[in-house]
Homo-oligomer: A and B are copies of this chain.
Amino acid sequence: MKQIPVTKRASQIEYAIRDVVVPAAALEAQGHSIIKLNIGDPLAYPGLPTPNHMVEAYQKAIYDQKNGYSPAYGIEELRVAISENEHNKSNGGWNCEPNDVYICHGVTEALQIIFASYLDKGDEVLSPGPHYPPYMAYPQVFGGKTIEYKLDSENGWAIDIDDLRSKMNDRVKLLVLINPNNPTGNVITKTELDQIIDLVSQYENCTIISDEIYDRLNFNENHISTASRSKKVPIITLNGVSKVYYAPGWRIGYMAFHDPTHNSKEVRDGIERMLRSRICASTPAQYGYLAGLNGNDDWMSGYLEMIKERNEFCVKRINNIEGLSVERPQGAFYMFVKLVDPYWNANDKEFVLKLLNQKYVLAVHGSGFSKNYGKGHFRIVFLPKKEILNEAMNRIEEFLIESRH
């Protein structure tokens, strides 16, 4: 049958993290049990539940019939709580007002709206390589183009500032920082932030998107909000309930505007128009996030300790496996593991698919996070319990031995 044509913007979207789910689901349908190290969802692993006080606040909102539409930019209490949270950050906050905060269906919707409002044909977005896939997938939807700047795989995946500088130009409307980084776990230092902001300040139409969704999953307590360092460059901070508050399925995130020279009024008006047209984010879920932000957060350090231990465990195991090496993540809950063997280094997707089919361990191929700088790696999530991680490492080790080229 002659097919109705699909647009290129839709047909060329790739989202490696979910795309490997298809063959895994086929194996599960045959009765195999898979160790899934692919999706960054703490709720998929035992021991990291959404905290009770957040669950109860969300339940209460539904019971209290807060089931109607909420204001397009979010409920006022939540905007206030987020602005205070940005203001009071431990390593230096910034002057965030409630009106600077817009609540979205997760950071993903924030990105769609930002790209739609900033990007015309020929505009460029600079994103770290490797990066979370929507930073490559979405700009092209609106005629823009993502250019990757290099993260240094030999230096803890720090930003290669010279490479970044060489890619800046007047077409760059948005520079993306992911801090802590997904998939590498790198955390940007204050010196690096200042260098980057200084560089961007030389271009009058460039805004920084600072994706800080993993901000408190920061093992050395050195994470600094980008907005707190900028006196001139506009910064859009992205964050939400998904990772640090352990509730990704609630789909609540936000963007917060730091616009020190007030040159973002027109784009913000466009963003507000788009937000109004799609009505609002989940009303009751916003109350759950509110409870997280306003409640006691002592519980968070227990979760963090557990994750740090698993991080240490995986770093040690991986660096003792012949054929693998990894830079120690400083934040988030991902590890971007290097395939040392030249064949696998050149064929990371084949590695991931064969590992899945032969050993029932699901990782994501590095080239899914960057064509230029991700090849020869795979990403794992180190959230499972140690016994599971250990079993996964055993199987990866076996696979590498059995498949030696």
Give A residues with C-beta under 8 Å from B: 1-7, 9-11, 13-15, 18-19, 39, 41-44, 49-50, 55, 58-59, 62-63, 65-70, 72, 105-106, 108-109, 112, 116-120, 133-134, 137-138, 141-142, 173, 204-205, 207, 234, 246-251, 261-267, 269-271, 273-274, 276-285, 288
Tell whether A1 pairs with B263 under 8 Å between CB atoms, given A6-B270, A13-B274, A65-B50: yes
In the complex, chain B residues whose CB is within 8 Å of the CB of A2 = 204, 263
Instruction: Contact check, B277 vs A137: say whether CB atoms are below 8 A apart.
Output: yes
In the complex, chain B residues whose CB is within 8 Å of the CB of A67 = 43, 49-50, 55, 246-250
Instruction: Contact check, A276 vs B19: say whether CB atoms are below 8 A apart.
Output: yes
* Docked pose: A132 CA to B169 CA in angstroms: 41
CB distance from A379 to the nearest CB of B (A): 16
Instruction: Contact check, B39 vs A69: say whether CB atoms are below 8 A apart.
Output: yes
Instruction: Contact check, B68 vs A62: say whether CB atoms are below 8 A apart.
Output: no
* Docked pose: A9 CA to B267 CA in angstroms: 11
Interface centre among A13, A44, A67 (most CB of B within 10 A): A67
CB distance from A390 to the nearest CB of B (A): 23
In the complex, chain B residues whose CB is within 8 Å of the CB of A207 = 4
In the complex, chain B residues whose CB is within 8 Å of the CB of A282 = 249-251, 282, 285
* Docked pose: A67 CA to B109 CA in angstroms: 18
In the complex, chain B residues whose CB is within 8 Å of the CB of A142 = 7, 9
* Docked pose: A66 CA to B246 CA in angstroms: 11
Instruction: Contact check, A249 vs B70: say whether CB atoms are below 8 A apart.
Output: yes
Kindly list 9 other residue pairs between chains A and B, CB separation below 8 angstroms, not including A4-B204, A251-B251. A10-B271, A13-B274, A42-B68, A50-B67, A58-B284, A59-B59, A105-B105, A106-B278, A134-B277
CB distance from A299 to the nearest CB of B (A): 15
Tell whether A49 pairs with B65 under 8 Å between CB atoms, given A13-B274, A137-B277: yes
**Chain B residue at smallest Cβ distance from A108:** B278
In the complex, chain B residues whose CB is within 8 Å of the CB of A62 = 50, 55, 58-59, 288
In the complex, chain B residues whose CB is within 8 Å of the CB of A266 = 3-6, 11
8 Å CB contact of A269 from B6, B117, B118: B6
8 Å CB contact of A4 from B134, B234, B278, B280: B234
8 Å CB contact of A109 from B11, B58, B120, B278: B278
* Docked pose: A151 CA to B274 CA in angstroms: 27
Instruction: Contact check, B249 vs A15: say whether CB atoms are below 8 A apart.
Output: no
* Docked pose: A308 CA to B271 CA in angstroms: 38
Closest 4 CB pairs of A and B: A43-B68, A10-B270, A249-B283, A6-B270
In the complex, chain B residues whose CB is within 8 Å of the CB of A66 = 249
In the complex, chain B residues whose CB is within 8 Å of the CB of A4 = 118, 173, 204-205, 207, 234, 263-264, 266-267
* Docked pose: A279 CA to B105 CA in angstroms: 11
* Docked pose: A138 CA to B116 CA in angstroms: 11
* Docked pose: A276 CA to B246 CA in angstroms: 21
Instruction: Contact check, A10 vs B117: say whether CB atoms are below 8 A apart.
Output: yes
In the complex, chain B residues whose CB is within 8 Å of the CB of A59 = 59, 62-63
In the complex, chain B residues whose CB is within 8 Å of the CB of A120 = 7
* Docked pose: A72 CA to B273 CA in angstroms: 27
Q: List 5 A-B contacts (CB under 8 A).
A: A1-B262, A4-B264, A6-B269, A109-B278, A133-B277
Interface centre among A109, A251, A264, A285 (most CB of B within 10 A): A251
* Docked pose: A330 CA to B258 CA in angstroms: 49
CB distance from A53 to the nearest CB of B (A): 12
In the complex, chain B residues whose CB is within 8 Å of the CB of A280 = 249, 251
Instruction: Contact check, B68 vs A249: say whether CB atoms are below 8 A apart.
Output: yes
In the complex, chain B residues whose CB is within 8 Å of the CB of A19 = 276
Tell whether A116 pairs with B7 under 8 Å between CB atoms, given A2-B263, A13-B277, A249-B68: yes
In the complex, chain B residues whose CB is within 8 Å of the CB of A112 = 112, 278
